[in-house]
Amino acid sequence: MLGENIKIGNRRVWMHKAINHPDFASESVLTRDPWSFVELWLKRQNKSEALSFWSQARRFHEAAKYMDVEASPLSLYYSFLNATKALLVVRGATHAENHGVTGDRPAKAKASLANEAITFKSGGILPALCTYLGESTVTHTAEKYNLKDLLWNVPFVHRAFLHTFRSAPELFIPLESACYVKHPDPKARECWFQAEVSPRYADGRMLRNIPHSFEWFTEDGRTYIRRKKRFNWWRGKAPQAEKLLAQKRLGTYHSKTRRIIVPISGNRDLWYIKRNLSSNPPSERHGLTIIFAAMHRLSELARYDPNGLERHLYGTSNWLITEFMTNSADQFIDQMASEITGFQFWRPAIRTP
């Protein structure tokens, strides 16, 4: 059974890039420069401390454009670090000043992404980001991943990852029309997330590994997924207080859904469902924390082990690493801008005469 789009005012409620505090009711922001919009938004909100961090993040971002690929990870990481600090300040999230992440590689180990260990610590900027996004946090013992597994979980380099590691299973299934819908019965209140599966991936072999909280079904020759859990919406001409409570329930439901439904930002945002594979240790992590941690490790290599970084850049993973460093800034900042402001950011299309 297909659901019908829910609306806030006259606007259909589509999937939103912001994980927390999404503004479903407002128009999307059309801009090729989210930096300037967020800067102006912070000024209007009188968030001077966050504005300082955001401005510094922008300076590091601009500096990275003029650096060689061997040096750019350091500037990119500090851009991500300061943008994250801006978010934490805006949302009132407490955090220690240390970075909360560290990396290493065994002394005699060869230069492979699987040997680049990345440890999430119990306190600092990255753990605070994890807490804000609703991820599990490290309490007494550190949590360790490797760079290969982290990059496997990054949608915008997934194709490069599969070309680099040809035996790796595909992790993301592309979706269309990702949105929130309600039961077609006008007397019903229940709502859920729903999306159409791209026809190429609409077969049981791919869909059998979707998370247990989702299910797939076919209707009129098309394949869809939906989340099993439901939330209640309002009916008819409900009072404003009831509508606000329903929107709050939507926000809570959405923040859980966004851990599994992930975007690639661009002229047209693309959405994917992440498959549930047992061999994927960082599966519960959001894209923002994964990108932050991966860039931190690359920045450590750029600073302390440039020869080790060069071995990656001239080895079998060179395309994957280069794609990540080239595209991560736009993806990270686009999603961070949504998280700070609550707005969706889209790049405007230019009509040709």
Residue type, 158: H
Q: Tokens 């991943």, residue?
A: 145
Contact 16, 242 (CB under 8 A): no
| CA–CA distance, 34 with 17 (Å, rounded to integer) | 14
| CA–CA distance, 91 with 351 (Å, rounded to integer) | 38
Task: Give the start-to-end residue ranges of the domains of the chain.
Answer: 4-25+172-274, 31-168+285-346
Q: Please state the pTM of the whole predicted model.
A: 0.95
| CA–CA distance, 260 with 132 (Å, rounded to integer) | 16
Query: Which residues, at least 6 apart from 245, have a Cβ–Cβ distance to it below 8 Å?
Result: none
Distance of CA 94 to the CA centre of its chain: 21
| CA–CA distance, 273 with 224 (Å, rounded to integer) | 11
DSSP 351: -
| CA–CA distance, 199 with 9 (Å, rounded to integer) | 32
- CA distance readout (Å), 19 to 80, 129, 232, 310: 17, 12, 19, 35
Helix (H) or strand (E) holding 333: helix 318-341
- Say what the pLDDT of residue 141 is: 60
Using CB atoms within 10 Å of the CB of residue 301, give its burial: 0 to 12 exposed, 13 to 18 middle, 19+ buried: buried
Angle between the N-to-C axes of helices 34-44 and 48-64, in degrees from 0 to 180, rounded to the nearest 10: 170
Secondary structure class of 187 (helix, strand, coil): coil
Helix (H) or strand (E) holding 173: strand 172-182
| CA–CA distance, 312 with 301 (Å, rounded to integer) | 10
Backbone torsion region of residue 28, taken as left when φ is above 0, otherwise alpha when ψ lies between -120 and 50, otherwise beta: beta
Q: Could you list the mean pLDDT of each consecutive 10-residue stretch along the chain, which spans 353 residues?
A: 93 96 94 96 98 98 95 98 98 93 89 95 94 78 89 98 96 97 93 97 94 96 98 92 96 97 89 95 95 98 95 95 97 98 87 50
Angle between the N-to-C axes of helices 318-341 and 48-64, in degrees from 0 to 180, rounded to the nearest 10: 160
- CA distance readout (Å), 112 to 118, 146, 282, 312: 13, 10, 18, 7
For 289-333, what is each residue's pLDDT tens digit?
999 999 999 999 999 999 999 999 999 999 999 999 999 999 999
A 10 A CB-CB count for 190 gives: 14
Using CB atoms within 10 Å of the CB of residue 97, give its burial: 0 to 12 exposed, 13 to 18 middle, 19+ buried: exposed
- Say what the pLDDT of residue 139 is: 55
| CA–CA distance, 197 with 181 (Å, rounded to integer) | 16
Query: Could you please report the per-residue DSSP string of 50-103?
Result: HHHHHHHHHHHHHHHTTS-TTTHHHHHHHHHHHHHHHHHHHTT----SS--EEE
| CA–CA distance, 264 with 154 (Å, rounded to integer) | 9
What per-residue string of b and e applies to 212-236 under the rule 16 or more CB within 10 Å gives b?
eebebeeeeeebbbbbeebbbbbee
